[in-house]
């Protein structure tokens, strides 16, 4: 089913530090997950994805970790930059068809 969105928690980090954003997903049968970045007034942008047969996947400055046992995803951003300031959502693919979004975290990068 769908995770219900509540008011967004905020993570504040200093420029240059690493950021870790967490997400809990709801359906144990989901087997594909994506992290999206959303800037104010815009649609979500793809950051990185991971399939359920993997525990970890790395991209450029970003790493996604998947723990299926506790239905948990995390996004690690290395050397966080001001341009990383946005809202981050995880999304799970349900029934090979539609994506449901987690509640989101607002990342605030302080210069």
Partner 1 sequence: GAVVSQHPSWVICKSGTSVKIECRSLDFQATTMFWYRQFPKQSLMLMATSNEGSKATYEQGVEKDKFLINHASLTLSTLTVTSAHPEDSSFYICSVRTGRNTEAFFGQGTRLTVV
Distance of CA 4 to the CA centre of its chain: 15
Q: Which stretch binds partner 1 (CB under 8 A): 5-13, 14-22, 61-69, 73-81?
A: 5-13
DSSP E strands, the chain: 10-14, 19-24, 32-38, 45-51, 56-58, 62-67, 72-77, 86-94, 98-101, 105-110
Work out which of 30, 66, 92, 104 binds partner 1, going by CB under 8 A: 104
Residues in region 72-101 near partner 1 by CB under 8 A: 89, 91, 93, 96-101
Give the C-alpha separation, 59 to 41, whole Å: 26
Question: Applying CB under 8 A, does 41 fall inside the site for partner 1?
Answer: yes
Size of interface with partner 1, in residues (CB under 8 A) = 30
Strand partners, 38: 87
Q: Which residues bind partner 1 (CB under 8 A)?
A: 2-8, 32, 34, 36, 41-46, 49, 51, 89, 91, 93, 96-104
């Amino acid at each position: 089913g769908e995770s219900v969105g509540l008011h967004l928690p905020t993570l504040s980090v200093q420029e240059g530090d690493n950021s870790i954003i967490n997400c809990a997903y709801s359906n144990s049968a989901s087997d594909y997950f994506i992290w999206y970045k959303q800037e104010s007034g815009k649609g979500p942008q793809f950051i990185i994805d991971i399939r359920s047969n993997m525990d970890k996947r790395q991209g450029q400055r970003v790493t996604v970790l998947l723990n299926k046992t506790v239905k948990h995803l995390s996004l690690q951003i290395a050397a966080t930059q001001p341009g990383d300031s946005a809202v981050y959502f995880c999304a799970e693919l349900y029934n090979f068809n539609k994506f449901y979004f987690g509640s989101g975290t607002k990342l605030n990068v302080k210069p």
